[in-house]
């Protein structure tokens, strides 16, 4: 490999750290590096630009040394001046313009001139590089138009012409072995012993000229971690080979994290995954089934090309895998050509478990049941369209596992699914996987990973379009089958049906899954979520919301709140300001609010978008959905805002929920609980009931406590005095009172479920019990704003009467626990050194246990 594909030791050491990101490692603004040799002739210099702002000078030296002895005389974040020893070396470097890569960016190499040098020395506040584009990947993904294919002759002649024009040739498939070996070789430097396992359309025989290669990297067990960030690490490793891999993009937050790249030697796009070998097993199954009959592979390739030509498949649409499963399912119907997957798995010796799923099967096609189906390819293709033109997608599931349609409702209750899905039932009930999404527009069940609906991304609009195409093609077959289908392919490839188009209302949704909502401490979690959404829209995005509707569905036990809003500026265009404000020490709310205000002030473009915001709360399991829907206005602008909305909302909500989430301090809570249990036993104080709750109020909502004797009546009757512990208890309470001075716990009356203020005239042990210390004779402790509910009463708070400001958990909760732990520890240490007299220990900080 030439030196352009290598990196120096210094660069390799950098790559082992955090992933290089624009802005994350940006050099501080300041004077650029001066020209080290200002009198060097321009004819011996070249000007290099186009690299990312995290590129190091050594990276450029490693690439340009191949042309001769070179040094860097001038360097900044956007351009570099390189000097060679003679003009021949300069000409060699100039010939590599737009052909060299560094970290996936093409380099511009121009003859040096003072004018160009000054133009490229741009101020640091300007964006260093334009929006990243992937021209090679885009060019590779362009499908050959049907009108450019010879569709003359009979059906089989036309089919041969189509396959010849779009299908990958054998030598092209074989050349891809270089791609997999290059991946393996590059990644083994970081994960020794890893293996590149190809899967997808290339391995099943369905590869066409626009197909991407798919590769699973099997990392040895000693290098695997449950939360390993493999894709970002792989990206950094692959960026060290700019002569082999280009346009490298890591997508770590996808359901299946992948690295997308362009392999230069084979001119092939590739998706690299590290998650699971399930995809490889699926490909093995499809390869077996499609090669079991000579008619099937041409049929599958033709169907794939038809869907691609009409833009029915692709990102956010029907996947090629889902379309192929639909074909397999059709071929399982009587008279069947293929057996059901359950039949292939009927013998236990073929079982092969991957991620709790059985992915094994009988791979001997000679043992398949004999088929009585003698239909031609044209008849099978027409039959496919006829079958799905009348298929009841609204109620039935495409189930290749069983080989016949099943009703959606059987997955409504996991505990009652048929015995054929015992493995699915076991995996869901044991929380290995989430239940299948069976309420989408179309449901196509994966035969191995039975919880996976491979058509779940299809919208109702796209599903309607697909059904319309099925009916159109079925009608074309009905007309042409008496004519030997001579014009059948011309019609379905060159003509399109009239699609049903009503008033479109695009919608974008963000799910707050149970794993997010369950971390919220407050029992009124809906108010917390609502407040966070309001914070995002009204304060961070400067969009005023007005409440439109609130309703509860008693059947589904879901609550919905609808709000209206308007957008007048393209607030999603915030990249340049984000770079500026990310350098400042601001909270998320302050930073995003300022960025939005900057966009509003600077952006000259006006937009007109009215939208509806819907918040849906589900109680079992606890989850929420935040969606926006276009009401009226600019459709393109709303789509831009929608993409921005789904890209940032979940991360922002998660960040804003941190102060309201349970602190990760299990050990602290355990220590406090154990200490309190011991002290409760010693002092004969009942321990707290696990089901009791507390509510923290902001300081602005406190009522002034009376200073008279009434303020201490409720505690004086239950207090236990301990002179030996008076000073330490007082110190502990002063510290904790100071730490919690911004919070107050509401007293609850169990009779009327109404919160009481501290000025209530009737405060008895029946309504509330104050436990502040073993030393309640100390006047400095009596009357502190710290209360515990009576453990013998079921004291609750009417949460629906508490608004946003009334039910707020302070951001000091985690510090509160830490301080409580340190106090308990210090008291325990002090008590070990003292005489065995009654001393103050954990019960002096009993308030700590009130936080669940």
Q: Is residue 476 a contact partner of residue 490, using CB atoms and an 8 Å limit?
A: no
Please indicate whether residue 164 or residue 850 has the higher confidence score (pLDDT): 164
* Pairing outcome for strands 70-75 and 101-102: unpaired
Q: What is the pLDDT of residues 268-321, one digit of tens each?
A: 999 999 988 999 999 999 999 999 999 999 999 999 999 999 999 987 899 999
DSSP 852: -
Q: Which of 77-91, 230-244, 429-443, 792-806 has the lowest mean pLDDT?
A: 792-806
Please check the confidence at residue 481 and state whether its pLDDT lies above 80.
yes
Banded model confidence at residue 35, pLDDT cuts 50, 70, 90? low
Q: Is residue 536 a contact partner of residue 646, using CB atoms and an 8 Å limit?
A: no
Would you put residue 118 in left (φ > 0), alpha (ψ -120 to 50) or beta? alpha
Would you call the peptide bond into 621 cis, given omega within 30 degrees of 0 as the criterion?
yes
Please check the confidence at residue 322 and state whether its pLDDT lies above 90.
yes
Q: Which residues contact 241 (CB under 8 A, 6 or more apart)?
A: 1, 5, 6, 182, 186
Section 686-699 average pLDDT: 38
- Nearest in space to 748 (alpha carbons), one of 718, 765, 768: 768
CA distance 744 to 755: 12
Please indicate whether residue 739 or residue 511 has the higher confidence score (pLDDT): 511
CA distance 75 to 67: 19
CA distance 774 to 719: 6
* Pairing outcome for strands 268-273 and 213-218: parallel
Residue in the block written with tokens 């294919």 = 149
Please check the confidence at residue 402 and state whether its pLDDT lies above 70.
yes
748 forms bridges with which residues in the sheet?
A: 755
What is the torsion angle, in degrees rounded to the nearest 10, for the CA atoms of residue 819, residue 821, residue 827 and residue 833?
Answer: -130
Q: Which SS3 state, helix, strand or coil, does residue 2 take?
A: coil
Please indicate whether residue 489 or residue 456 has the higher confidence score (pLDDT): 489
Banded model confidence at residue 684, pLDDT cuts 50, 70, 90? very low
Please check the confidence at residue 562 and state whether its pLDDT lies above 80.
yes
CA distance 761 to 692: 24
Section 226-243 average pLDDT: 87
Task: Output the pLDDT for position 20.
Answer: 34
Task: Output the pLDDT for position 716.
Answer: 37
Task: Output the pLDDT for position 407.
Answer: 95
Section 447-468 average pLDDT: 93
Please indicate whether residue 472 or residue 562 has the higher confidence score (pLDDT): 472
Average pLDDT, the chain: 76
Please check the confidence at residue 628 and state whether its pLDDT lies above 80.
yes
Domain boundaries, the chain: 3-132, 168-275, 281-494, 507-660, 666-850
Above pLDDT 70, what percent of the chain? 68
Q: Please give the CATH topology (third level) of the domain spanning 168-275.
A: Beta Polymerase; domain 2 (3.30.460)
Banded model confidence at residue 490, pLDDT cuts 50, 70, 90? very high
Q: Is residue 20 a contact partner of residue 236, using CB atoms and an 8 Å limit?
A: yes
Task: Output the pLDDT for position 285.
Answer: 97
Q: What tokens were used for 592?
A: 């995003």
Task: Output the pLDDT for position 659.
Answer: 86
Question: What's the CATH superfamily of 3-132?
Answer: RRM (RNA recognition motif) domain (3.30.70.330)
Q: Which SS3 state, helix, strand or coil, does residue 608 take?
A: coil
Please indicate whether residue 183 or residue 23 has the higher confidence score (pLDDT): 183
Please check the confidence at residue 126 and state whether its pLDDT lies above 60.
no
Instruction: In the chain, count H helices and then E strands.
Output: 27, 24
Please check the confidence at residue 139 and state whether its pLDDT lies above 60.
no
Task: Output the pLDDT for position 763.
Answer: 39
Q: Is residue 452 a contact partner of residue 445, using CB atoms and an 8 Å limit?
A: yes
Task: Output the pLDDT for position 24.
Answer: 35
CA distance 846 to 841: 9
Task: Output the pLDDT for position 555.
Answer: 64
Above pLDDT 90, what percent of the chain? 41
Residue in the block written with tokens 């309504």 = 767
* pTM (predicted TM-score): 0.51
CA distance 543 to 593: 11
Task: Output the pLDDT for position 664.
Answer: 53
Please check the confidence at residue 335 and state whether its pLDDT lies above 70.
yes
* Pairing outcome for strands 195-199 and 754-756: unpaired
Q: Which residues contact 391 (CB under 8 A, 6 or more apart)?
A: 398, 405
Banded model confidence at residue 372, pLDDT cuts 50, 70, 90? very high
Section 691-705 average pLDDT: 40
Q: CA angle, corner 316, sides to 311 and 321, nearest 5?
A: 75
Cα separation of the two ends of the chain: 60
Banded model confidence at residue 663, pLDDT cuts 50, 70, 90? low
Q: Is residue 585 a contact partner of residue 613, using CB atoms and an 8 Å limit?
A: no
DSSP one-letter string for 230-254: HHHHHHHHHTT-TTTEEEEEEETTS
Please check the confidence at residue 765 and state whether its pLDDT lies above 50.
no
Count other Cβ atoms within 10 Å, centred on residue 123: 6
Please check the confidence at residue 395 and state whether its pLDDT lies above 50.
yes
Task: Output the pLDDT for position 61.
Answer: 85
Among 3.40.630.10, 2.70.150.10, 3.90.1150.10, 1.10.1410.10, what is the CATH number of 281-494?
A: 1.10.1410.10
Q: How far is CA 663 from CA 422, 807, 810, 832, 851, in A?
A: 37, 18, 12, 29, 11
DSSP 391: -
The b-or-e profile of 371-384 (16+ CB within 10 A means b, else e) is: eebeeebbebbbbb
Residue in the block written with tokens 């409702």 = 409
CA distance 36 to 53: 21
Q: Is residue 521 a contact partner of residue 664, using CB atoms and an 8 Å limit?
A: no
Task: Output the pLDDT for position 213.
Answer: 94
Task: Output the pLDDT for position 701.
Answer: 43
CA distance 200 to 697: 57
Banded model confidence at residue 135, pLDDT cuts 50, 70, 90? low
DSSP one-letter string for 537-573: IIIIS----EEEEEEEETTTTEEEEEEEEEE-S-TT-
549 forms bridges with which residues in the sheet?
A: 562
DSSP 313: B
Q: Which SS3 state, helix, strand or coil, does residue 475 take?
A: helix
Section 34-63 average pLDDT: 78
Helix H segments across 222-319?
Answer: 230-238, 278-290, 296-309
């Amino acid at each position: 490999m030439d030196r352009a594909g290598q990196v120096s030791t210094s660069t390799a050491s950098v790559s082992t750290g955090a992933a290089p990101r624009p802005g994350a490692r940006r050099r501080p603004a300041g004077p650029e590096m001066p020209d080290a040799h200002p009198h060097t002739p321009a004819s011996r210099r070249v000007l290099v630009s186009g690299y990312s702002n995290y590129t190091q000078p050594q990276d450029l030296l490693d690439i340009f040394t191949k042309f001769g002895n070179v040094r860097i005389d001038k360097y900044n974040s956007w351009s570099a001046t390189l000097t060679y020893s003679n003009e021949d070396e300069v000409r060699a470097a100039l010939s590599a313009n737009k052909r060299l890569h560094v970290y996936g960016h093409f380099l511009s190499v121009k003859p040096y001139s003072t004018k160009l040098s000054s133009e490229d020395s741009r101020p640091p506040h300007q964006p260093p590089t334009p929006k990243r584009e992937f021209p090679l990947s885009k060019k590779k993904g362009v499908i050959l138009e049907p009108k450019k294919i010879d569709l003359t002759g009979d059906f089989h002649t036309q089919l041969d012409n189509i396959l010849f024009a779009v299908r990958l040739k054998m030598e092209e498939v074989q050349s891809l072995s270089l791609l997999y070996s290059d991946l393996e070789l590059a990644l083994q430097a970081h994960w020794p012993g890893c293996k590149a396992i190809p899967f997808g359309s290339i391995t099943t025989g369905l590869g066409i000229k626009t197909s991407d290669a798919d590769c699973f990297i099997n990392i040895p067990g000693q290098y695997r971690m449950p939360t390993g960030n493999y894709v970002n690490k792989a990206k950094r490793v692959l960026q060290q080979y700019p002569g082999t891999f280009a346009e490298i993009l890591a997508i770590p937050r996808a359901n299946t994290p992948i690295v997308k790249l362009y392999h230069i030697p084979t001119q092939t796009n590739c998706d690299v995954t590290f998650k699971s070998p399930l995809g490889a097993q699926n490909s093995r199954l499809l390869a077996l089934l499609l090669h079991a009959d000579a008619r099937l592979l041409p049929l599958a390739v033709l169907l794939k090309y038809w869907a691609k030509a009409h833009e029915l498949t692709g990102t956010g649409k029907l996947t090629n895998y889902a379309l192929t499963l639909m074909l397999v399912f059709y071929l399982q119907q009587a008279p069947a050509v293929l057996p059901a997957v359950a039949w292939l798995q009927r013998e236990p010796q073929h079982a092969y478990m991957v991620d709790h799923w059985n992915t094994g099967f009988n791979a001997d096609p000679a043992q398949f049941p004999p088929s009585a189906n003698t239909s031609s390819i044209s008849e099978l293709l027409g039959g496919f369209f006829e079958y799905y033109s009348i298929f009841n997608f609204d109620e039935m599931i495409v189930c290749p596992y069983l080989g016949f349609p099943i009703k959606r409702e059987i997955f409504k209750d996991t505990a009652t699914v048929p015995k054929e899905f015992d493995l699915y039932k076991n995996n869901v009930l044991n929380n290995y996987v989430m239940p299948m999404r069976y309420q989408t527009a179309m449901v196509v069940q994966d035969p191995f990973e039975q919880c996976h609906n491979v058509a779940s991304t299809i919208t109702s609009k796209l599903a309607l379009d697909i059904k319309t195409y099925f009916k159109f093609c079925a009608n074309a077959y009905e007309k042409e089958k008496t004519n030997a289908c001579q014009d059948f392919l011309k019609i379905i490839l060159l003509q399109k049906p009239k699609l049903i188009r009503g008033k479109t209302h695009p919608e974008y949704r963000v799910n707050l899954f149970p794993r997010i909502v369950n971390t919220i401490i407050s029992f009124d979690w809906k108010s917390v979520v609502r407040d966070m959404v309001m914070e995002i829209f009204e304060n961070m995005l400067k969009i005023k919301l007005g409440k439109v509707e609130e309703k509860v569905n008693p059947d589904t036990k879901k609550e919905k709140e609808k709000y209206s809003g308007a957008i007048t500026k393209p607030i999603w265009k915030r990249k340049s300001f984000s770079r500026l404000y990310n350098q400042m020490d601001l909270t998320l709310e302050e930073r995003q609010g300022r960025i939005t205000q900057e966009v509003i002030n600077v952006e000259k473009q006006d937009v007109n978008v009215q939208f509806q915001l819907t918040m849906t709360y589900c109680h079992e399991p606890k989850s929420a959905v935040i969606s926006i829907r276009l009401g009226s206005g600019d459709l393109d602008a709303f789509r831009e805002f929608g993409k921005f909305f789904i890209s940032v909302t979940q991360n922002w909500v998660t960040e804003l929920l941190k102060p309201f989430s349970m602190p990760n301090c299990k050990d602290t809570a355990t220590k406090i609980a154990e200490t309190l249990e011991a002290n409760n036993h010693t002092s004969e104080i009942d321990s707290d009931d696990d089901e009791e709750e507390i509510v923290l109020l902001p300081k602005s909502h406190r009522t002034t406590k009376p200073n008279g004797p009434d303020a201490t009546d409720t505690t004086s009757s239950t207090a236990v005095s301990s002179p030996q512990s008076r000073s330490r208890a007082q110190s502990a309470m002063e510290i904790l009172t100071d730490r919690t001075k911004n919070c107050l716990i509401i007293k609850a009356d169990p009779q009327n479920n109404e919160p009481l203020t501290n000025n209530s005239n009737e405060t008895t042990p029946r309504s509330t019990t104050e436990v502040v210390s073993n030393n309640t004779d100390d006047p400095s402790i009596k009357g502190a704003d710290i209360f515990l509910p009576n453990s013998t009463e079921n004291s609750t708070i009417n949460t629906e009467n508490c608004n946003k400001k009334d039910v707020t958990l302070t951001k000091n909760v985690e510090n509160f626990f830490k301080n409580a732990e340190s106090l308990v520890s210090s008291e325990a240490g002090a008590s070990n050194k003292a005489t065995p007299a009654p001393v103050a220990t954990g019960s002096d900080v009993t308030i700590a246990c009130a936080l669940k």
